[in-house]
Structure 1
Amino acid sequence: MKLTTIALAATALALTGAQPAVAQYFDGLKGKKLRTAITTAQAYPLGSEKNPVRAKGPEGERAYLARLRCADGNAPAFERLGSTGIGPYRNILDLYTVQCAGAAPLSVYIDMYHKHAEPAPVPGFTIVAP
């Protein structure tokens, strides 16, 4: 798509007051609905697509991953693979691969749209206090 086409589409949206389709992704659950979803998600392993780690922004994602420890006490390597679909809290999830030396990589899903610093480690890891 050419830049001028994008600019025209953005102008049309602004003039009509229409919201782009992306806006639907940022209407995460709140209040009682969020608490219920958290309770339901806890039936699945932490860091899975059905129970993503909750964090506060990209900095919170990296801070959480930096606190994880492998069995040997060292910090694992991690890499962001990108954003994925909508998670159980109705937000876009980020997917990371986390790997200890000599071990298979683990996929970890994180929902960064929370004011939360997860205290628990994903399975197979320990975690240091923030």
Structure 2
Amino acid sequence: MKPTLIAVAAATALLAAPPALAQYFDGLKGKKLRTAIAAAQAHPLGSEKNPVRAKGPEGERAYLARLRCADGSAPAFERQGSTGIGPYHNILDLYAVQCAGAAPLSVYIDMYHKHEEPAPLPGFTIVAP
């Protein structure tokens, strides 16, 4: 099947999806998004229930590149793939983030936002963009 036909088939399948499922492919907006963000604040930043919000794949990498370990060094990070649907009704990306001599930390990021996260993950500091 040609790539264009695959894209058309995928779009058709999404349009035909039951309303309960289709809602997860559009993300939350407006008041619903603000309410979900406020609720997520009860969980650690970078967790599955409070993913880092970023603007696209570039925003994901830019955020991770700004993190600093306790010794001031930049952590290593590697994308592990996409995971399930997050609290903002978008697919989450999972990264392994690791400081020297420490176990890797699983960090969830939602790249479907126009947002540059100013806060560091717990146990890290962050440098200005």
Give the TM-score, by structure 1 length: 0.85
Aligned-pair identity (%): 83
> Structure 2: which amino acid aligns with 1:116?
H
Q: Mark the CA change 1:116 to 1:10 in structure 2 (over 3 Å): closer, same or farther.
A: closer
The alignment partner of 2:12 has SS state of coil
- Given candidates 13, 30, 37, the residue that maps to 1:20 is 13
**Distance between the aligned counterparts of 1:96 and 1:109, measured in 2?**
6
**Distance between the aligned counterparts of 1:20 and 1:127, measured in 2?**
41
Q: Unpaired runs of 5+ in structure 2?
A: none
Residue 47 (structure 2) pairs with residue 48 (structure 1):
yes
Q: Mark the CA change 1:65 to 1:29 in structure 2 (over 3 Å): closer, same or farther.
A: same
Query: What does residue 105 of structure 2 align with?
Result: 106
**Distance between the aligned counterparts of 1:73 and 1:60, measured in 2?**
21
**Distance between the aligned counterparts of 2:126 and 2:25, measured in 1?**
29
> Structure 2: which amino acid aligns with 1:19?
T
- Higher-Rg structure is 1
Query: What does residue 76 of structure 1 align with?
Result: 75
Q: How many residue pairs were aligned?
A: 122
Q: Unpaired runs of 5+ in structure 1?
A: none
Give the TM-score, by structure 2 length: 0.86
Shift of 1:10: 6.3
Query: What does residue 66 of structure 2 align with?
Result: 67
> Structure 1: which amino acid aligns with 2:114?
K
Query: What does residue 116 of structure 2 align with?
Result: 117
Query: What is the CA RMSD across the aligned residues, in angstroms?
Result: 2.3
Shift of 1:124: 1.1
Query: What does residue 93 of structure 1 align with?
Result: 92
